[in-house]
Amino acid sequence: MLEVQALHSGYGRIPILNGVSLTLGQSEILGVLGHNGAGKTTLMRAIAGFLPATQGRIAMEGRDLTAAAPFQRANAGLGYVPQGRQIFPALSVRENLTVAAARSGRSVDEILALFPRVARLLDRPGGALSGGEQQLLALARCLCTGPSVMLLDEPTEGIQPSIIDEIIETLQTINREQGVSILLVEQNLECLAALSKRILLLDRGTIVESIEGQAVHDEARLASLMMKA
């Protein structure tokens, strides 16, 4: 679904990514783990098209998107939920979802069936929601665009445990029932272990290890790898 080859990117003359390569398969959830400053958000922004690739290639289902604008990547089926959520605070919950569904033609009510907590808040302004509710809204809004691949940057950051559990269950359902592939940047090891089929360890802009099989669910080992990175 998604292929990144030898990707270099950064901010102006400051290089952050140093030849990152990864593949995300059909209906796969791939986790990315790393310290603050390792390049995780830069990786997501570069894949989404908000930072230019100075070297390398980004492709979805064989289509080269390396030079494509963010809206062209969205039209190709790439959904992005950035760190901080970036919902429209002055619009109601329903309006946030309707705007996202306008191009895809997806039914907002169909999406709301996956987000019962959001469905109870339709008339509230997005800015009046709690952090966890805003995160659920951001996920629902992304799904309204009809993505085949979702990029999720720290979806559990600063969110209460009860809603983290809800986010995990919802993402599992989206992946299982709709076949959406997910690239997940996350520092919550419990969340990462619960969702991921593989985990990549990113350090100083480079993939330094790939964790697969039962090791994905070993939170103690993941914590140990983080300490060594």
pLDDT at 71 (0 to 100): 94
- Alpha carbon distances (Å) from 66 to 43, 56, 134, 142, 217: 13, 8, 30, 21, 33
pTM given for the model: 0.93
Q: How confident is the model at residue 215, as a pLDDT?
A: 85
Question: Who contacts 101 (Cβ-Cβ below 8 Å, separation ≥6)?
Answer: 107, 108, 111, 144, 145
Encode the chain (229 residues) as per-residue pLDDT tens digits: 999 999 999 998 899 999 999 999 999 999 999 988 899 999 999 999 999 999 999 999 999 999 999 999 999 999 999 998 899 999 999 999 999 998 788 899 999 999 999 999 999 999 999 999 999 999 999 999 999 999 999 999 989 888 999 999 999 999 999 999 999 999 889 999 999 999 999 999 999 999 988 888 888 888 887 776 6
Sign of CA dihedral 79, 114, 188, 217: negative
Domain ranges for the chain, please list them.
Answer: 2-228
d(CA 77, CA 79): 6
Q: What is the pLDDT of residue 174?
A: 95
Distance of CA 183 to the CA centre of its chain: 5
Rounded distance between C-alpha atoms, residue 161 and residue 172, angstroms? 17
CATH number of this structure's domain 2-228, picked from the four choices 3.40.50.1100, 2.40.50.100, 3.90.25.10, 3.40.50.300: 3.40.50.300
pLDDT at 53: 96
Sign of CA dihedral 118, 196, 36, 54: negative
Q: What local confidence, expressed as pLDDT, does residue 84 receive?
A: 85
